[in-house]
Structure 1
Amino acid sequence: MTTANADMLNQIKSGQGFIAALDQSGGSTPKALKGYGIDEDAFSNDEEMFGLIHAMRSRIVTSPCFNGEKVIGAILFERTMDGDAGGKPVPALLWERGVVPFLKVDKGLEAEENGVQLMKANPDLDTLCERAVAKGVFGTKMRSVVNLANAAGIKAIVEQQFAEAKRIAAHGLVPIIEPEVNIKSAERDAADRLLLQETLAALEAWDGAPVMLKLSLPTEAGLFQPLVDHPKVLRVVALSGGFARPEACAELAKNPGIIASFSRALLEDLRHQMDDAEFDKSLGGAIDEIHAASVA
């Protein structure tokens, strides 16, 4: 393990903070830009759209408050990993600030089957992992979705996630496994319990370096404590999953040992029209609030 990787491992394992999710992909980018105050008529093709979202992310990661004191990691979209901010490659800039870079590697979701949406096939995963390692990235993230408490579906999701995690770990990267339970599901509590059971079984069989888990906050506070305490789990992080920031933070604080990995709840008050002082103040306030809930 390189010195940088050992230092990154220590920051993720012991750092008192949270992981920012800056990984909106093509499908969710227009919505993210709209939230930021940029309507769809401001761009006429994908290149222009990705240029605008990169400018937004650059503004975030170069803000004085975005540093490893409270933000211990950041999940990047592939184009963000390949881009520059503040005159430097984004992963290098982040790590200079003490923020550990991760990369979103999944290619989106399949149609729902057995109450879940598996990840689409990802034949180029190994090539992407090689590129990530060369850029100084520490780990990856991949998302699938649980809509119903279907035992066969949830088993399939966990098996797929851990199979892909094995491919990722072979490159020396730390995989974040994200089987998101839809917080709007009428079967959310039962789905949480099935997911816990399947994840514990998969961890039992896991023979690699510790992995990370990114989960929806459980209906029953503290339900995922066995995962937080598991020796094969480096860190458990939570997505906001559609909760607004105050509610996401309140739910997070009920689950000791789990830290935030919020996207929308982190960015919801930021606007393109703000001057730098307003922008930094708004982002700093959001970081303080999410940090407090993560270390509560």
Structure 2
Amino acid sequence: MKNNFNEEHKHKKHALTELNEQLRLLVGRAQQLELQNEKYTAELAKLRRKSFIISTTSTQNDECNRIQADLMTVNYEKVCYESNIERCQLQLGMYEQSILAEKQWIDEKRLKLEQELIESASTLAKLCTSYAEVSKKLGTSRAACEDTFQQYIRVTNDWSFSKEKTNESKITVQMVKSQAEFRKTLYSKFDVFSMEMSDFAEFWTHEWEDIIKKIRHDFEQIYATIHREVVLQYTLPGGLRLHPGTQLKVYSKLGAAAAQISSSESFVASSSHQKLVLNGVISMGIGDKMETLLVDAHDQEIASYIQTAEADSTLYD
């Protein structure tokens, strides 16, 4: 816009200069005509004086007529030039007023833009200050979140260790109970000593095998409870779409409530995080590693998710 104003201003200035030059030429021409008029008037006066002396000379009459004709032509041209001078003066006044108005409008626009620039600079300074404060708060929140996560990892490890010790204690108690039951059975069978030695040996052989089988069966159940590898199969609900880079969090019924509390306190839902609750599973068990496999309709593995208690989870597409 400013360039257009400058071009228009230059154009009008050039036109004004041309008008001034034309006016100067017209004034010069008018002065020249006035001089010629004075000259012709003087000559006409001389001729008139001569006409009184030589009134009968036809040549002088012709000269007088020619001078009068020239004088009329000069007067006519003078009137035309004076009209042109007045017209040029009017146009010059109009151009000067237009240039003055445009200059005033440009000054007002410049002042308005300077005021807007000052206001924008003030707003930008406030935004920079707010951004610095928010960045500082965000850094503090991230540090607190990292500290809380590390505390959670430590508590989880301690709880897993305590659970393992508790299960070991249960195994020990179960073995003691089995030994007590074995001894009780042994003492209750003292009355069979009246039996023959061959029958007695066969009886205790069968009893010992049954007791050993029962102890092994109980131990295997307890050991499997601690070190078992649980395999869960589930089908994604209709309408659920997984895109590269997204996350799908799977919870059991027991873990869904805790996950809901954690999400309401420190998690903002977005399109890149989705949750799936297994209604048919009460608990997924306790272990040091959990692996989730995603398979298609042909049981072909297309993605896996490994989570350990010591490190963050890792997603493999």
- Larger radius of gyration between Structure 1 and Structure 2: 2
Q: TM-score, normalised by structure 2?
A: 0.16
**More strand per residue: 1 or 2?**
1
- Which structure exhibits the higher relative contact order, with contacts defined as CA atoms closer than 8 Å and separated by 6 or more residues? 1
**More helix per residue: 1 or 2?**
2
Q: TM-score, normalised by structure 1?
A: 0.17
